[in-house]
Structure 1
Amino acid sequence: MGYAEKQRAGHYRGRYWSSTGVLDTVKDANGRAVRFKSKREAAKAANDMEALLRQQVVQESPVPVLPLRQTAAEVLPQTAPEVPKLTFGEYVNQWYSEQDLAPSTMQNYRRHIEEHLLPEFGDKTFDEISRQNVEAWARKERSLYAASSVKTWRGTLHLILADATDEKLIGSNPAARRRGRGRRAGRSRDRAPEKVTTDALGILLIGERASILSGRDDEFVGTVTKGYTGVRWGELVGLEKEYWRPDSVRVEWQLYELDTGELDRCPPKDDSYRTVDNPRFLSSLVNDHIIRTDPKPCECHGRTYIFRGYGAPNGASRRCGVKLADVARRADVSTGTVSNVLNRPGAVKEETRLRVEAAIAELGYVRAGVPADHAAHWRRSGFATWLFQPAVTGWYPKKAPQEAHPVPLLAEPWPGVPARGRNASDRAEACWVPIAKGLTPHGLRHTNKKIMRLLRTPPKLMDERLGHLDGSVQARYDHIDPSMRRELMEGLTEIWEAALEMRRAMCPTSPVRALDVLLRGHR
């Protein structure tokens, strides 16, 4: 008898037993599972499929006529027909195609399946996957990757095998783990390191350094905003101008970066829509930034975002036409010489310049754009690798063929400006000392929680600002009073003023325009 099975997205699918004894799904002409809006429709379609299969069996195999003194056991086959065994790889491909989840979740599932589950279990049938196999695979993965990552991949495996168990393809879930099994003292081995945080002065100095590296104010304003509001990275990148209010910011959307490079505009994590109160100094800082930059709608989403990306828009490799390297090959010079002809023609010999200009005219080379153009949005890897981490640690990361090295600085103006161009390390006069080694952009969110703790902020208000949900009875009976919000805003302002005063004691000016205005006007 067929039945209806409810899916996570809210629809139903019809399930029925096929003639081979395998539980099957009602599919359309293209072989895709049909999604029914109601449970009744799905069950009816499953029963109709079973009836159709029984009718086909009757037509193809008529009932045999028993001769005299011959029993039914002698006529009918003694063994059931062999059922084809389904492999994990075959099942997981169908399972993945039937999921209807957020693009970020689908992306994570696909990565877990393709990179970690299929190489180990793809060719195995379900009766070949045992608890011992799963444990051996988990131990091997833990020797290569972080324990927290292995735990996530095992969770995906558990979910897939749980669905296979519900479909009667497997007797029990071999990826399930009994609670409390094994030595309890061994749990500390998988404990992640404590998250690195900083303080109010650290937020200010990191934002200043990041802006010095980028040569603009966006990174300073963005770092301070993240440090004093506690918004997530995707919420900061996806902060639209219309949701910035005079005394608060409304979190309605985020931009989630997919593996394809596309930024998906989606609701905040766990649907944590919220309004975050802003101290007056932060509202003034961001409002001045909006007036100064005058943001325009981006081409990818058609919406106006407060912060722009850093660097030229990516996509030069996908752009058609003649490139700089083609001109260099035609003129028999280096790409640096072609760049000098385009930007500093006086620094190139006339004979070489004429040869390069002739190659440009012959090939029809067109410059790719103005260097001042910036990408529409920050990218997590680019921001963290080339701006945030060098600002936090004072070191550039390793990038072949160059090893990791300190950020080369010219001593004036304080706190130093990066030395650019050839032999920058030889011309450097100073380097930055680390502020909080190991700090990540997400660590500023932890820093915001720590600052609120120092200000004795009620837990209910902290959860509201960070977008967390506390389902305890105590939280249900806890409520926020306007006076609590005022006290928190006053406390954040005092901490900001103290950090600004400490920074002014180091040097009364700054190469970052937005900070320089604050230092000169601060008493």
Structure 2
Amino acid sequence: MGYAESLGSYWRGRYKLAPGKYATVRDADGDAIRFRTKAVAKKAADAEEAKLLAGTKKAPRERITFGAYVNRWYAAQDLAASIMQNYRRNIDEHLLPAFEDSAVADILSTDIAAREKHERAVPYAASSVKAWRATLHLIRPAAVAEPTRLKVLEAVSDLGYIRNAASGELAAHWRRSGFATWLFRPAATGRCPGRGSQEERPVPVVAEPWPGIPARGRGASKQAEVCWVPIAPGLTPHGLRHTHKTLMGEVGTPPKLMDERMGHEDGSVPSRYDHITPGMRQALMTALTGMWEEASDARRTMSLGSPVAALDALLKAR
């Protein structure tokens, strides 16, 4: 029989593949489904197990375990002996005891937080916990990020993104970055965050080409002619999800369609009888397109072009 596993704010369904082996209920894209209630998660798990027993469902391809992957990852590193020793100690003493038999893609932030809580209670020194978390931070993206990396590169190609490169070159930016801190926040608030002893300060802007670009490098503030006016103080990239759902509600989008777009799963009984129709999708697309065109027109009244290539092309197409 399947069972429901609590992961804090949601439940996931788990069903038996073989003695000692369990799989997670996933959607068509292979992502674990987040159920809102225990009963719905268990029911979905039971249904998957029944399909498996009836022969109408093939057992999912076995996913690589953390234990199998981490040894390959370690062998591929070529670093100073002291660093390699530290990695090995963190892996053997802290990571393998907790995650050795877990599929890499199934290790969630809640699992990591639970391990940290356990080790602090032992107690391990805070520096030890910080060290193994840093090592895990290096290992996990390398194991699970390849499909996402390919999507990023495709988007880079579509947008013609250029980063510190000569005109016409594409420059992928694949690593954890300070996008929210150093790009999004200054654009939204008009202020650069502090660093070290340096306090928060206005974004220095060179007026040409209009409507201005941030001055960078040493002496940027001396080059600046103006600074950005705050657009939305306190706004974050995640805050845009709140904005998107609010706008969908404003145009009367059905809850079922809103949940789908937000990646949410409503396990309530009323939701089970709701269905999304092509007409609903078309109505939402029309409404969002109208908002986008209205915003583009408002931006175009400020300036007919932009130093940002993607935005410049959109403005010129209006």
User: Which of the five TM-score ranges fits, normalised by the shorter chain?
Assistant: 0.5 to 0.7
Equivalence for 1:119: 120
What per-residue deviation string (whole Å, max 9, x for no partner) do you get for residues 61-108 of structure 1?
xxxxxxxxxxxxxxxxxxxxxxxxxxxxxxx98962565244462665
Structure 1 residue 409: deviation in Å?
A: 0.3
- Asked if the contact 1:407/1:432 (under 8 Å) is kept, the reply is yes
Task: Compute the RMSD of aligned alpha carbons.
Answer: 3.9
Q: Which residue identity does 1:120 align to in structure 2?
A: A
For the residues of structure 1 that align with 2:99 and 2:311, how far apart are their CA atoms?
51
- Asked if the contact 2:104/2:143 (under 8 Å) is kept, the reply is no
What per-residue deviation string (whole Å, max 9, x for no partner) do you get for residues 33-75 of structure 1?
xxxxxxxxxxxxxxxxxxxxxxxxxxxxxxxxxxxxxxxxxxx
Equivalence for 2:242: 446
For the residues of structure 2 that align with 1:267 and 1:469, how far apart are their CA atoms?
26
For the residues of structure 2 that align with 1:431 and 1:385, how far apart are their CA atoms?
18
Structure 1 residue 122: deviation in Å?
A: 3.8
Equivalence for 1:480: 276
- Asked if the contact 2:257/2:276 (under 8 Å) is kept, the reply is yes
Equivalence for 2:154: 305
For the residues of structure 2 that align with 1:302 and 1:488, how far apart are their CA atoms?
25
For the residues of structure 1 that align with 2:201 and 2:280, how far apart are their CA atoms?
46
Structure 1 residue 485: deviation in Å?
A: 1.6
Equivalence for 1:499: 295
- Asked if the contact 2:104/2:144 (under 8 Å) is kept, the reply is no
Say which SS state the counterpart of residue 229 (structure 2) adopts: coil
Q: Which residue identity does 1:96 align to in structure 2?
A: A
Against the structure 1 CA distance between its residues 484 and 103, is the aligned structure 2 distance closer, same or farther, given a 3 Å change threshold? closer
Against the structure 1 CA distance between its residues 438 and 113, is the aligned structure 2 distance closer, same or farther, given a 3 Å change threshold? same
Against the structure 1 CA distance between its residues 311 and 510, is the aligned structure 2 distance closer, same or farther, given a 3 Å change threshold? closer
Against the structure 1 CA distance between its residues 429 and 376, is the aligned structure 2 distance closer, same or farther, given a 3 Å change threshold? closer
Against the structure 1 CA distance between its residues 405 and 499, is the aligned structure 2 distance closer, same or farther, given a 3 Å change threshold? same
For the residues of structure 1 that align with 2:248 and 2:222, how far apart are their CA atoms?
44
Structure with greater Cα Rg: 1
What per-residue deviation string (whole Å, max 9, x for no partner) do you get for residues 260-313 of structure 1?
063444799xxxxxxxxxxxxxxxxxxxxxxxxxxxxx9x7699532378857x
Structure 2 counterpart of 1:458, from 251, 254, 257? 254
- For residues 223-302 of structure 1, the aligned pairs below 5 Å read 259-260=137-138, 262-265=141-144
Equivalence for 1:377: 174
Equivalence for 1:240: none
Q: Percent identity?
A: 46
Q: Which residue identity does 1:105 align to in structure 2?
A: I
Against the structure 1 CA distance between its residues 406 and 375, is the aligned structure 2 distance closer, same or farther, given a 3 Å change threshold? same
Against the structure 1 CA distance between its residues 452 and 263, is the aligned structure 2 distance closer, same or farther, given a 3 Å change threshold? farther
Equivalence for 1:412: 208
Greater CA deviation, 303-312 or 435-444? 303-312
Against the structure 1 CA distance between its residues 9 and 438, is the aligned structure 2 distance closer, same or farther, given a 3 Å change threshold? farther
For the residues of structure 2 that align with 1:99 and 1:378, how far apart are their CA atoms?
27
Q: Which residue identity does 1:374 align to in structure 2?
A: A
Against the structure 1 CA distance between its residues 445 and 263, is the aligned structure 2 distance closer, same or farther, given a 3 Å change threshold? farther
Q: Considering Cα pairs closer than 8 Å and 6+ residues apart, tell me whether 1 or 2 has the greater RCO.
A: 1
Structure 1 residue 374: deviation in Å?
A: 3.2
For the residues of structure 2 that align with 1:420 and 1:303, how far apart are their CA atoms?
26
Q: What are structure 1's unaligned runs of at least 5 residues? A: 1-6, 14-91, 124-257, 269-297, 313-368
For the residues of structure 1 that align with 2:190 and 2:205, how far apart are their CA atoms?
10
Say which SS state the counterpart of residue 100 (structure 1) adopts: coil
For the residues of structure 2 that align with 1:500 and 1:107, how far apart are their CA atoms?
38
- Asked if the contact 1:395/1:404 (under 8 Å) is kept, the reply is yes
